[in-house]
């Protein structure tokens, strides 16, 4: 299998008051993905579901992330989610509030060795 990297998208998301790391991660991935329309995969004759999308999320509390909720952001393709220590927590001026900042990277890969006719690739 020869996997080719087609796209790298980067985004940022926040949860201003709820200290919800998953919400911030989902927003970061949405930021990375929702300003684009990936036409390269169908243009190469592959269905969008043939895409493999590696998602990496950076937050200060990696164990607090719901991986399935993050993967569910993808409209198509197969997702893998990795969460690493990163991002930023910003304490509130008063009380115990925290603003959570997450970063996301989505890398889209395609197996280019699949020799099936265009439009007949396995999903």
- Kindly report, residue by residue over 36-73, the tens digit of the pLDDT: 777 888 888 899 999 999 999 999 999 999 999 999 99
What is the value of pTM for the model shown? 0.86
**Model confidence over 102-123: pLDDT tens digits?**
999 999 999 987 545 455 544 4
What's the pLDDT score for residue 123?
Answer: 45
Every domain of the chain and the residues it spans = 3-111
What's the pLDDT score for residue 65?
Answer: 98
Q: Which has the closest alpha carbon to 35: 87, 104, 82, 123?
A: 104
Spatial distance between the Cα atoms of 52 and 63, rounded to a whole number of angstroms: 24
Fold of 3-111: 60s Ribosomal Protein L30; Chain: A; (3.30.1330)
What's the pLDDT score for residue 17?
Answer: 86
Q: Which has the closest alpha carbon to 118: 52, 41, 53, 51?
A: 41
């Amino acid at each position: 299998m020869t996997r080719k990297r087609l796209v790298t998208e980067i985004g940022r998301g926040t949860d201003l008051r709820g200290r919800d790391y998953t919400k911030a991660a989902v927003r970061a991935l949405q930021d990375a993905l929702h300003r684009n329309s990936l036409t390269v995969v169908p243009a190469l004759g592959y269905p969008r579901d043939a895409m493999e999308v590696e998602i990496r999320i950076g937050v200060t509390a990696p164990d607090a992330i719901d991986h399935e909720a993050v993967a569910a952001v993808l409209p198509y393709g197969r997702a893998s989610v990795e969460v690493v220590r990163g991002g930023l927590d910003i304490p509130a001026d008063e009380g115990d509030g925290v603003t959570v900042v997450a970063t996301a990277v989505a890398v889209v890969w395609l197996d280019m060795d699949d020799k099936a006719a265009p439009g007949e690739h396995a999903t």
